[in-house]
Each structure stands twice: as structure tokens, then as C-alpha cells.
Amino acid sequence: MERHPQVLLLCALIFITFFALLHLVEAQDQKGFISLDCGLSPTEPPYNDPSTGLTYSTDDGFVQTGKTGKIQKEFEPIFSKPSLKLRYFPDGIRNCYTVNVTEGTSYLIKAVFVYGNYDDLNNYPSFDLYLGPNLWATVDMNGRVNGTIQEIIHKTISKSLQVCLVKTGTSNPMINTLELRPLKNTTYNTQSGSLKFFFRYYFSTSGFTIRYPNDVNDRKWYPFFDSKEWTEVTTNLNINASIGYEPPQLVMASASTPISTFAPWSFSWSLPSSTSQFYIYMHFAEIQTLRSFDTREFKVTLNGKLAYERYSPRPLAMETIFYSTPQQCEGGKCILELTKTTKSTLPPLINALEVFTVIDFPQLETNQDDVVAIKDIQNTYGLSRNSWQGDPCVPKQFLWDGLNCNNLDISTPPIITSLNLSSSHLTGVIAPSIQNLLNLQELDLSNNNLTGGVPEFLAGMKSLLVINLSGNNLNGSVPQTLIEKKGLKLNLEGNSNLICPDGLCVKNSENGGSKKTNVVVPVVASVAFVVVLGSALTFFFVFKKKKPSNREGLSPYTQASDAGRTRSLEPSIMTINKRFTYSEVVTMTNNFTRVLGKGGFGMVYHGTVNNTEQVAVKMLSHSSSQGYKEFKAEVELLLRVHHKNLVSLVGYCDEGENLALIYEYMANGDLREHMSGKRGGSIINWETRLKIVVESAQGLEYLHNGCKPPMVHRDVKTTNILLNEHFQAKLADFGLSRSFPIEGETHVSTVVAGTPGYLDPEYYRTNWLNEKSDVYSFGIVLLEIITNQPVINQNREKPHIAEWVGVMLTKGDITNIMDPKLYGDYDSGSVWRAVELAMSCLNPSSARRPTMSQVIIELNECLTYENSRGGTSQNMNSQSSIEMSMNFDIETIPIAR
């Protein structure tokens, strides 16, 4: 055939243009990606890796230390361009990369290490890798000619992430690439901890490793196939895999089935230890064209335990099945089996499998306000100390030089208590950022070249006990407030140009010659006064205990009982930051003029603080069944936890018999009022109801997972879900809340408390409380917003709402369950999914209920279905619901039910 040069040229141009556009699209898909070529010169521009199309840039600016190297030429053909250069760290013990990230986002983090005999020593290094203050992995490169990769999925808790390489022997830590890929927050969720990569296989004989651009998240999929036991199935058809976990088309286009139709599909692996916990993700799609009489259905078991009773992959549509709780295998040996059911004519089929081990990061990062402040101080003075990398306070062995921290309580973030920058060649003025170290007790800036005045903000630092500014060039007047501050030791010696009011700083030395600026504010008299006062108070309480007391002037430790209001030996609330007097409460409520409502605690009144901020004031009634213990518990909880979906505490009053809680004002009252129609107005539509329960679930999930130690609310119900003027939902009433055990414990034994109808029957029966008790109560709330029925109704066939819904489900008609006031204006698929979720929350076994994290994921899916219907209802094609073990969660594409 004759070939025309013009045609060939045109084809070549089209080919080049196509791939240029392809790479442009790929570059756009890299939004949020961070790809660092460690060791790339700062003068070299970013480049596209030819093998993946990923754009890599220099690590300059992300790390302040280290030297650059290059693997030897004999190794270059083995590796792609980003691995040819490296950064190694001959100096210091801990060297860190700091990367800006989106707080609360899950990231796939990969670090690549290729030695390549860069130093010509043929000495493969070994070192530790840290994520923030916690050990991530030990990198031992001995014998790893092809290098090694450390991969983890981690949810960030702040706006920066630190990856640190720590020297543990004589060899120098080194790294070739550092990569971060943001993931959907609806995927790879854990009850606690992060996910350390164990394996990720797709079942194919292709032999090709698949990653970006085929995988939009740049996960690496490795081929695996047991040709003795399995048969490969493939397809060229398109598979709907663009939701949820989004495995690549190439991954889902192949699958394995047993050679024998009657044999189970079996896959085994060994964990690092018998105590290792792991998460497993199974990806399925039916890629064979089934004949009319063909059926593929199988059960899923893990080490012989049933996980999924009957499962059928969806035709040309991806579906992911995964455990929502961490699993363990006896002896560390795991066997996954897929076994066909009697109904099935075809053997089991699976496309891909991921397993991650759980890695816990127990050490909290240093208080973020302190971190910001100390880094501002570092930048102000241009400090380049090698130790000032990574977390300032933890681990303790890597504490920054010149700092002391309080990190005794592992459940709270460490705080900086001492800063010593003596003889550090500091110039300029005293850094204003110092005042942001709110817990600082000692400050030493002596023997530097600081100029300017002594700032008055030092007097306002309540925790500060020692200030040493001696040996500088400070000038001007010393603030009177600083000199008069009680209990403060202040050293200003050696600042000849400093002027103190009333000559208080001027003291002559014994030889009478030199003018010193040296002030030590006496604390001896104060200490003596405290000792005397303490003795007097001890005598007073001992004497008072021997005689009956009247009702006035009671100590917060010994208050008389009144209708169940016993304060005996209850310690008073530790903080006074938001404390109001009773007279202030009377003023803010205009003498309790406007009543907002009444609850178990007492009357709730409208008020204003500073005549501007509206508040709700709950006064403890003398006849209330709730006492000082619940009052104190709620105040102390709300003073330390803050979340957009938890009602904020403005303040409290604890004065004699007058106890009050002052909350932010929630203009639209509680959810129960709106559901019952007591507040008037139009009925809340299905979309708004879903938004309200999503926000409520977020508040509850924060208590379970965001608090240290975790908290159980114990009284989740529609009257404790409040709505502000924008109908944003916030969880309220924390008087019954309890901290939840950690360190491997599964429950806490406690006296049963809660509201009848919402109370977890397992908790009621055993007195064993865990976070799944809240999940049960939340399931009841879900049924309320679905049905708009009372929780207990003696006129129903089944009085309790859960039993009634269970009976109605057997009839298969959603209209018998759904609130009739909505007149069918909802997506039926969304409602079915919400009903299934509610019933899973009400599982009699707490272990089989989902976590609140999984509840949020499911509710967001319900909301997505509702939002996508465009205002028109969909008719049901089926009344069936998914049957599954509640140990499992399932991510599916939307289908009509």
C-alpha cells in the first residue's frame, strides 16, 4: 500500500496533540497532589515523570537540612526519574519535612527509599520514620537493591504534616521521593488509628503494576494470580467504577474464579504478629455476561466466620465490601473464602483485594497554638537550630533545645511551659508572639542584643512566674503593671538604658558604683500568707464539720441534699473562665421574664450577655432529678470540647443553691418540636431532615473519636437536637455524658442512665456502656425523622417504634413507614437506605452496629440520592433490602429498590 508523507505527518501531529491533551488532563487531575523529588535542585523547574505523567518538584522549602546525592549510574536503568536523586541527613538525630495539608482530610502518604550506593560505601542504611510525634515505620534497606516504599493512609488533625527521618545507628537516613494524595473522606475510615499498607492485589495474569493515571488516587495495584487454583475472567467492556473507592478500569476488568465450579475461592496471608489488627477491602464487579438461567451467589467467610451470607456482584458495576471494625486472625494466619450457595450455578468471583494493618498514633501533637507561636518566634529571630524540627515537645527525646513542656497526660496535647533563648544572638525587639504561649511559666532571653522596650503584654501572661531579660540593650520605661505583678521573679540587670517608675528598678551594688536594673518581686510574703490562709481554712472546715450547717454559704464540697441534689464530696468546677454570679444571671434574663421551655434540669429562660449576644439560661430546679454531679459534668465537658455541631457553653453560675447553665441561643428550638408541629410553620422536608441528622451525627462522632478520652453522650434524642436560625443542628444536654475507656478496654461498667425508648437494651441489661449505646439511641432518632411517630405509642400494634417499623418492613411498602405529611416528596432509594441504616443501628448486639463514622457516610449517601432526584420521586422496583452481617459495610452505586 502506498503511504503519502503528508498523511503520515498529519497522523503524527494528531498523535502528538492527543498525548499533549492527555497530559494536560492528567495534570489537572493532580489537584491536591504533593510530589517531591527529594534532592532536586531548587533551580530546576518541576517536571513530568515520563512513566506516570505525575509532576514532581524540588523539596526545597519543605525541609531545612540535609545534603543531596544521586544513585550510581549502574542502578539508574532500574528506576524512574524521581528515584534517581535523594536527600540524606548526616547531621542531627531528627530531620523533618513539613507539608501544608487540609485539616481533617485523609491522605495516602508514600515515601520511596532507593539507596543505589549513592555514597560509594555499599552500606545500606537503617533508620526510623516518624509521622509527627509518632513512629510510623523502621526503614531497613539491607539487601533491598530495588528500594522500598512506606505507604500509609492517615487523616490529618492540623494544617501541617511532618514526616521525620530519625537516625538510630551509624548510617545516615535518606529519602528519594515523598508523595501525598488526598482521598475521599468517605473511604478508608477506621474506628481509630491509621492504615498501614499491607498489600493491594488485582487478580490478573497481566504482570503489570497499575498506578496513576489509571488510578486517580495514585494507588499502586500489584498483579497476583494462582494459576493452579484459579481461572481468569476478563472483559473489554466499560465498568462503572467512578464512585466510592474508585479502583481503576484495568483493575476491575479482570477477575479470578475457582477452576472447579464447586470449590471455594480461597486466599490466605500472614500478619506481622498474632495481635495485629487489619482492615480488608474487597472489590467486586460481574464482568461475565450471564445467561438467563445463570446465577452467581456466594457467602464470604474470614477464618471460618461468616461475614456475608449471600452476595451477588453487580453486572459491570463496581461494589466494595469492607469491615467497618478492625479484625484479627488467630495466630496471625488469615484465610478469606468465597463459597457458592446452593442457589448459585456459577463459582465465586473477585476482582481485587486490599489489606491494611492498623497503626495507632497515641502521642498527641503539641498544642497547635503553641506550635504556631514558637514557629513565629523562630522566624522572628531567624533561629536555625538543627533540633528545632518536627514537633516541639514530643517525643520527649527530641524535645527542642531551650524548651520544657508539660506532656504528662497523654490524653491532652503537650504545652510549652519554658522557653530559654539565653545567649542565642537574638536581635530586634522582644517578639510579640511570646504572648501567645499562654501556658509559659519561665522566659529567659538573657545575654542577647535585644533592643526596644519591655512590652506590657508580659504582665498579662497569667502563668508566667520567671522572666530573665538581663544582659540586653533594652530601653525606655518598665511597665508599672509588670513590676507590681505578684509572684513574678523579674531580672532586668544589665540594661543600662532601662528606666523603672519611681526608681524601683535602681539598686546600688555594695561598692556603690554601678547602676543595676534588677528586680525580684518578693513572693515570700505571698507564700507565708497562703500557708496561714490554708491553715485557717483547714481549721474552719474541721470545726464546721462538727456542727450542723444552715443553707447559706455552703462550700462546693459539702452541700446539703435537697430533693436528690447531693453535692457531698463533689469537687467544684476547676475553671472560672466563664463563671457568672447569680446577680449577673438575674440581670441577663431580665429577672427571668421570658421562658423558652422546661426540661428535666429545670426552666429555660431567654437572656442576653452584654446586651448583644442572645443566650439560653437553664436554671436547676430544686425538684430536679438531675443534681450537681450532672451539672458539673456538663460544664466541664463543654468547657473542653468545641465542635460546630455541639451547643456551645457561654458560661455557668455556681453560687450556693443557684446553679445555671448559659448556652448559645438556638432560635429554632429542638427537633421534636418541629416534627410534632408545635412550633407551627411548614413541615420539614426530607432533605432538611437528612441534613439535620447528618450534623447531629457529626457532633456525636466528634464525642466518640475527637475527644481524648472519648465521650459517650448517653441521652441522644430528638429533644436534645437543637436548631439555630439557619436550621443548623447541634447536640445538647451533656449532663449524663461519660468518658469511654481506651487502651484496649471495650466498655465501662456504670449505673444505667438515659431516656426510656432511646435506651440501648444491651446497656440496660449488662450495665456495660460503650459508644455503640449512643449509636442505638441515634437509630431511634433516625426512625423518628423517617416516620414522625412517637417512640412509645401504646395504641400501636407494637408500642416501641423499632418493633413497629420491623413489622411494617415485612409488608415491603415504604409508604406505610414514611411520614405521610411529606406526601411522597422524597427519593424512595434514599428512604430505604436510611431505614436500613436505622435498623442496623438498632442491632441487639452492639458489636454489630455501625460506628458513627460509618453512619455519617451512609447518611451522606442518602442525602446524595435525595439531591440527585431533581425534585421528583422515584418509584420502587423492588421491596427487597440488602441482607448483610452488620460487621460489614457496603459501598454501592445508586439503584432503584
Kindly report the average pLDDT of the chain as a whole number. Answer: 82
pLDDT in tens, 421-471: 999 999 999 999 999 999 999 999 999 999 999 999 999 998 999 999 999
* C-beta of residue 825 within 8 angstroms of C-beta of residue 873: yes
pLDDT for 525 equals 37
Is the pLDDT assigned to residue 805 strictly greater than 70?
A: yes
d(CA 413, CA 441): 17
pLDDT in tens, 333-360: 999 999 999 999 999 999 999 999 999 9
Q: How far is CA 526 from CA 387, 479, 488, in A?
A: 39, 22, 11
The DSSP line for 183-212 is --TTSS--SSSEEEEEEEEEE-SS---B-T
Task: Please determine whether the domains at 196-359 and 671-891 fall in the same fold group of CATH.
Answer: no
pLDDT-derived band at 185 (thresholds 50, 70, 90) equals: confident
Q: What mean pLDDT comes out for the span 203-227?
A: 96
d(CA 279, CA 275): 13
Is the pLDDT assigned to residue 675 strictly greater than 90?
A: no
pLDDT for 823 equals 82
Grid cell digits, residue 651: 458560661
Q: Which of 531, 553, 555, 527 is nearest to 541 (CA)?
A: 555
Is the pLDDT assigned to residue 61 strictly greater than 90?
A: yes
Could you say which DSSP state residue 875 is in?
A: P
Domain 196-359 fold: Jelly Rolls (2.60.120)
- Rounded to the nearest angstrom, the gap between the alpha carbon of residue 39 and the centroid of all alpha carbons in its chain is 32
d(CA 801, CA 289): 44
Grid cell digits, residue 149: 516504599
pTM of the predicted structure, to 2 decimals: 0.59
CATH for the 671-891 domain, from 1.10.510.10, 3.20.20.140, 1.10.150.110, 1.10.10.10: 1.10.510.10
The total of other beta-carbon atoms located within 10 Å of residue 740's CB is: 21
In the chain, % of residues over pLDDT 90:
57
CATH superfamily of this structure's domain 582-664: Phosphorylase Kinase; domain 1 (3.30.200.20)
pLDDT for 586 equals 92
| DSSP H or E segment with residue 413 | none
Q: What mean pLDDT comes out for the span 75-102?
A: 95
Enumerate the domain spans of the chain: 30-183, 196-359, 368-522, 582-664, 671-891
Is the pLDDT assigned to residue 569 strictly greater than 80?
A: no
Is the pLDDT assigned to residue 24 strictly greater than 90?
A: no
Is the pLDDT assigned to residue 19 strictly greater than 80?
A: no
pLDDT for 894 equals 28
Is 774 among the catalytic positions?
no
pLDDT for 501 equals 62
| DSSP H or E segment with residue 351 | none
**Beta carbons within 8 Å of 290's beta carbon, 6+ residues apart:** 296, 315, 346
Please tell me which residue in 444, 670, 715, 760 is annotated as part of the active site.
Answer: 715
Could you say which DSSP state residue 703 is in?
A: I
pLDDT in tens, 600-657: 667 889 999 887 789 999 888 765 545 676 777 777 777 777 788 998 888 888 888 8
pLDDT in tens, 519-540: 444 433 333 444 434 444 443 3
pLDDT for 505 equals 52
pLDDT in tens, 581-591: 999 999 999 88
CATH 3.80.10.10 for domain 368-522, yes or no, is yes
Kindly report the backbone phi and psi dihedral angles of residue 392, in degrees, each rounded to the nearest multiple of 5, phi listed first.
Answer: -65, -35
CATH 2.60.120.260 for domain 30-183, yes or no, is yes
Is the pLDDT assigned to residue 735 strictly greater than 80?
A: no
618 is in an annotated binding site: yes
d(CA 422, CA 448): 7
* C-beta of residue 751 within 8 angstroms of C-beta of residue 790: no
